[in-house]
Amino acid sequence: MCFDHVDFDAHEHVAIAHDDASGLKAIIAVHDTRLGPALGGTRFWRYDDTDAAIGDALRLSRGMTYKNAVVGLNWGGGKAVIVGDPKQDKSPALWRAYGEALNRLGGLFVTGEDVGMTVADVDAVRRHSPYIAGSSSCAAASGDPSPFTAEGVFLGLIATVKAALGGSDLTGLRVGVLGLGSVGWKLADKLHRAGARLIVADVDADKTKRAADAFGAAVATPAALIGCEMDVFSPCALGGTLDERAVDSLKAFAIAGAANNQLATPDIDAALAQRGILYAPDYVVNAGGVVNVAAEAEGDYDADTVMISVRRIPDTLTAIFNRAKATNRPTSEVADAIARERLEAAQQAA
């Protein structure tokens, strides 16, 4: 039962969507709607079992609640996962079934692109449901959100460096980028142009070879990167990278990356802080994508206006860092507290 799941956190609604004919197996988790209907991406992934898929949906949806609250969006938090191989299991029938599953929720949850999904997939679902954003063809189409996510992560990383060192020049700084997907690659390009020295890792050896050629990056395996000599670690793949082993072996003074749920357990942030490693809360750093998708979902999309909002991410991070320092609390605890303050204010005003 979801109620007994270790990742269940008073979620308002958890739906299982199944269609035998198309092979659809999806979990849609709505965590909190005090600020508005839930907004969060759909992840298409090969999960080891159903419990792992449910856990991911529960964790990610909670993260969306806090992300949307902290960055000032009037949207609640939700997330969906589709169980399957994103390279083999997509089909028109599956997208129809998934669109119909979204329709059954009647607007309680609006979704978009996440790991394993593309703009073309969003377009395919949108033929059957209006409750998906990030498309290429609707009246307020915003398209690929990764440029906005990457810009937010890049600016957030600079803000983190500034908070840790007092300066924002990346020239010569060693940055380890784990994951060279659409966001990780764009981030690596921005860091290279800013003069950083890159160490990259990805499960796809072709991507790391291209990064070595394009950016002069050193290459490590995903398992080895965490122990490499670097100044900043930027996790941009799947979550859970920062565990007890990372606390012991990470050789960096700061962490700022695009991955969701980077902390394997909530106590990891405090352990990192004890080692003098400044952690930029992931759901603040990577909020650029949802800011972009929210603008489309609200029907008044303008890329320049979205970018102005994305460029406020460093201000939000700096406020978190300052409050954490003043109160001697971990940065993720402070970010969560700020989010809860906004959620409680919305509840009281209702």
Residue 40: give its domain's CATH number. Answer: 3.40.50.10860
Q: Do 115 and 86 belong to one domain?
A: yes
Q: Please give the single-letter amino acid code of residue 220.
A: A
Q: Do 107 and 255 belong to one domain?
A: no
Q: Do 106 and 166 belong to one domain?
A: no
Q: Do 203 and 79 belong to one domain?
A: no
Q: Do 206 and 169 belong to one domain?
A: yes
Q: Do 113 and 171 belong to one domain?
A: no
Instruction: Report yes or no on 171 lying in a domain.
Output: yes
**What is the token pair recorded at 251?**
């050789």
Instruction: Report yes or no on 309 lying in a domain.
Output: no
Instruction: Report yes or no on 138 lying in a domain.
Output: no
Q: Helices (DSSP H) in the chain: which residue ranges?
A: 50-70, 92-104, 119-126, 146-165, 182-193, 205-215, 222-225, 244-249, 268-274, 282-285, 288-297, 303-310, 313-327, 331-349
Report the CATH number that the domain containing residue 176 is assigned in CATH: 3.40.50.720
CA proximity to 222, closest of 243, 246, 203: 203
Q: What is the pLDDT, as a whole number, of residue 249?
A: 93
Instruction: Report yes or no on 135 lying in a domain.
Output: no
Instruction: Judge contact between 146 and 167, C-beta under 8 A.
Output: no
The total number of structural domains in the chain stands at 2
Q: Percentage of residues in the chain with pLDDT exceeding 90?
A: 88
Q: Mind listing the pLDDT tens digit for each residue in 164-208? A: 999 999 999 999 999 999 999 999 999 999 999 999 999 999 999
Q: Do 40 and 175 belong to one domain?
A: no
Boundaries of domain holding 18: 2-66+75-126
In Å, what is the CA distance from 167 to each residue of 31, 155, 160? 38, 13, 10
Instruction: Report yes or no on 50 lying in a domain.
Output: yes
Q: Mind listing the pLDDT tens digit for each residue in 207-236? A: 999 999 999 999 999 999 999 999 999 999
In Å, what is the CA distance from 293 to each residue of 40, 146, 347? 9, 10, 24
Q: Do 216 and 333 belong to one domain?
A: yes
Query: CA 140, CA 138: separation in Å to the nearest integer?
Result: 6
Q: How confident is the model at residue 134 (pLDDT cuts 50, 70, 90)?
A: confident
Q: What is the pLDDT, as a whole number, of residue 140?
A: 62
Q: Do 230 and 328 belong to one domain?
A: yes
Instruction: Report yes or no on 141 lying in a domain.
Output: no
Q: Mind listing the pLDDT tens digit for each residue in 3-54? A: 888 899 999 999 999 999 999 999 999 999 999 999 999 999 999 999 999 9
Residue 1: pLDDT above 80?
no
Q: Do 107 and 152 belong to one domain?
A: no
Instruction: Report yes or no on 298 lying in a domain.
Output: no
Instruction: Report yes or no on 304 lying in a domain.
Output: no
Active site residues: 79
Query: CA 242, CA 255: separation in Å to the nearest integer?
Result: 10
Q: Do 194 and 119 belong to one domain?
A: no
Strand order across the beta sheet in which 254-255 lies: 218-219, 197-201, 174-178, 232-235, 254-255, 278-279
Q: Do 122 and 153 belong to one domain?
A: no
